[in-house]
Structure 1
Amino acid sequence: MSTSSSLLPPWKLWVQGSSPKTLKRHQIMHSQKAPLALLEGSTFDRKGEMAALLFSRLWKVSNSTLFQMMLVTVLLATVLGDCGPPPKLPFASPINPLYDTEFKTGTTLKYTCHPGYGKINSSRLICDTKGSWNYSIFCAKKRCRNPELINGIVEVKKDLLLGSTIEFSCSEGFFLIGSTTSRCQIQGKGVDWSDPLPECVIAKCEPPPDIRNGKHSGGDREFYTYASSVTYTCNPYFSLIGNASISCMVENKTIGVWSPNPPICEKIVCRRPQIPKAIFVSGFGPLYTYKDSIVVNCEEGYSLRGSSLIYCEANNEWYPSVPSCVSMDACTDLPDISYASWERNDYNLSDHEIFEIGTELKYLCKPGYRPVLDEPLTVTCQENLTWTSSNECERVCCPTPDLENIRIINERRYFTGRCVYAYGDNISYMCDEGYYPVSVDGESSCHTDGTWKPKMPACEPALCLKPEIVNGRLSVDKDQYVEPENVTIECDSGYGVIGPKSITCSETRTWYPEVPRCEWEAPEGCEQVLTGRKLMQCLPSPEDVKVALEVYKLSLEIKQLEKERDKLMNTHQKFSEKEEMKDLFFPSNQHTESSFINSTLP
């Protein structure tokens, strides 16, 4: 074999006609399992030719013998068929446990359907020549039984297969007993609904209520079903008020109730109305009961004011109101005067009254309004049976505020044409820097008396009151200060400033920072004097001061004794530490021996 041929991959040598027996050992090792299979007398198909072409190209790229061996093994195994582990199916699993991770072409695996699924096809998976598991869907979800609900509705959301959900509801007049939903789930070897199917029970009502002076047509039954009805009647001389019939209905889908409310039986009597100059067309009895009616008309020369047909109502009154017959030579309709009320002390005016020619009526403008003209507020019935023209009423005006240093934020105005601001107007405003609104929150409104409440909109300079400094004085002393005026605090002799020495009047009319104070400063060594002064200020009598000073003196003596005790303890501690150091460097036996020697020397 030539040198150039030895560099070719094994399958290239085989394609060129070399016999496997003439191949060298290391050339066969390069091919590993897949090339060896090709060399053992198998013939090339199209798949093999493509594999050889692919490997020959990869072979030229790599010079690594190990890489070539691995590449040939992996790629040829993929191209020529072996399958990996079978897929996990949601509806089935293998009959026998699987321990291998690789399966030869043609391997067949048998599967069984999961609970809740039924077999519909061959339950086999086959490893094909492409290295893939070949199968078709062979298990399908089982179907739950058809649900039935008498007098109700079953709502199927999707289907009746495993995992599906259905909902139940009842027809009108029935209520549900049981669960409102159910789910198709595994039960035993099959599938069924998770909850027992409910039932729809017809609504029932208790016997209808009894009424005084009347009865119903229901008899003595123990209960009444949905849509049952009864009718009430009243005893003689009593009138039925309300609905004569009531029915058994359902409330909140569970309770049977009677609707509407039962009627009542009462004695209703309306007396014959007295209508001067009236003619009764129908209804001539002296007494009338509930819902009796009367039709009236007027004599010649008079016109009817009101309804010609009236009924006797449950309150023993006629409805609509009893009409009247008015002379055609009189004023009737009152003039409509805006924002005004009639001035009549003896009786209230009514549209149904008759006013003779020459009748004068007075009126007043309502609070917050005034007459437009400086004329009497009266109207008179004229010979042409009309009223004289009236003096109208308009809103009361409020003075126009001075807008200097004012910024209006919002306002509600009723434009009258005679003034800028009138009754009912509101203003919200802010002030320029250094000023503040005179009314709370900068809001004012025009009131009925023509004044602004709480005050007319205005802005005043921000004023701060004089700060009170005990045992001290101000650099500028006056009653009020304007923003942004600044003052300095100076304390009396023996006193010191606690806080800022300089403060400024802010636009909020407060001092910034906060106002300081002057407190007594005790010189070094005079603390007891300061304490004694404080005691004398707090105690009410000289005897109490004397006792307090004795107690204070005793407390000072105790503190002095405590200081001396602490001093002695410190001295003793230092001496003990010194003795310990001495024992550390000079043990007791050596010290004794040296002492003995020294004592024996001349």
Structure 2
Amino acid sequence: CLTSSCPIPPFQISFNRKTLKRHQIMHAQRAPLALLEGSTLDRKGESAASLVSRLWKVSNSTLFQMMLVTVLLATVLGDCGPPPKLPFASSINPLYDTEFKTGTTLKYTCHPGYGKINSSRLICDAKGLWNYSIFCAIAKCEPPPDIRNGKHSGGDQEFYTYASSVTYSCNPYFSLIGNASISCTVENKTIGVWSPNPPICEKIVCRRSQIPKEGYILCGSSLIYCEANNEWYLSLPSCISMNGCTNLPDISYASWERNDYNLSDHKIFEIGTELKYLCKPGYRPALDEPLSVTCQENLTWTSSNECERVCCPTPDLENIRIMNERRYFTGRCVYAYGDYISYTCDEGYYPVSVDGESSCHTDGTWKPKMPACEPVCSYPPSIAHGHYKEVILITPYPEATYECDEGYVLAGCATIYCKSFHWQHAPPQCKALCLKPEIVNGRLSVDKDQYVEPENVTIECDSGYGVVGLKSITCSEKRTWYPEMPRCEWEAPEGCEQQALPGRKLMQCFPNPDNVKMALEVYKLSPEIDLLELEIQGKMIHSGKITIIFPKRGKKRRLVGFIQYGSLLFCISTIPLAPISW
């Protein structure tokens, strides 16, 4: 601890609850100053107020330092900091805490190559120290064994510790068989042994191989090995007379075609031998000539047609900003197989390839697409009798949602999406809604409240009634039925139009007896009606259940009148009475 010449603090100084650790006090040069600047000490979580302000009044600096150290040590003894890092063992469980209470016990395990010789526990004692004894000992091996006709690199040590290694070498004219190096390892966790077994040195002699002569070529491996069984490995090569071409020409980016024999097994090719080859994927012949070479009489191969990279089309760089690219300059094209471009587009445009990256492939095309920038999707197309209610364009995948005007219904998907800079599907259509037609004395083939364009229905009249107009009508775009709505009118049975006969024959002209009765009563009134016809024109007479109507006389036709009796309406003309629609 060092003395400090700080001014005397006021007695009302307040101390923070900041804890100063024991190792900080013992090792930090300015520990007293740190305390006097407003820190307190903490022991086992309880605040210990320091009478620091009183110590400032001590005039003797030595006495001040002794008293300060006494106060500091009294407040920090007890808890332990992090346990020490041992070179021979480590804690069984992970340690995350930095403080441990008195009495805390940690269990350790020995590292590989060490054996346990004592209790492997660390205990935090009352003095705040970790208490333990050496409990792991490193495994030891005896000196490595000696071998005949050789030696090892080890010294004269009495023992070798775990992981030590030595290397063996043989005397001249002897060959080493086995592993040259062995290491000190552990068996049963405590016993040190050398592994693997040491090598041996033996004298190995192989018979002398044939020496190639001039004018011959070597057929086989040029490097062979004398094995422990006094035999050569690989097989001895042979020498054959050179009466053909050797050393196949090296053609870049090409491979030989498959043929009846393996080219790798041939060292010489007869005069006239023709060998064909192919350019590798991504390459093509530089010249429009055959891809083959032939062995000539001068024992040389004819010149070969070289292979060069396949070219890709040069992209239009309008609205493109190239961020990165790799190019192999061939001299024949701007971009070739293996080149790639990473690019972005000007505002309002999107790259046609994913993430703005394209590469030139083996077939001479850009994948996934040639670099290009296309404008984002414009506003979606308009539709008849409808409109789009929501359009989202500022996104990589714009979308538009449609709705129809009142009286129309949407046919198709309400939302369409823009992908690859085009609206992917045709917009939906708005189909007209037609109300259910009202048919008197009839019915519809399909009965619904509403019908959607271009639905059609067929009119079917009740018994005794016939359709006037076309039976089939269609719901049109104008929300009306086309053609004109038909109607159902009563149809008199055959023979009733000529005369009205009383009794049984009259019943054939009417659907029920009540109508016949009313018709007879009207028939009885016909003389009176004839008189009234002469006197009254264009007037209506009402008496009880019967109402007589006389329209004005036409120029070219006889006067026609109407008699209403209950729910029936009868026609008065040159023909007998007959009921009509009412």
TM-score over 0.5 for the pair: no
TM value normalised by structure 1: 0.38
Q: Which has more helix, going by share of residues?
A: 1
**TM-score, structure 2 as length reference:** 0.39
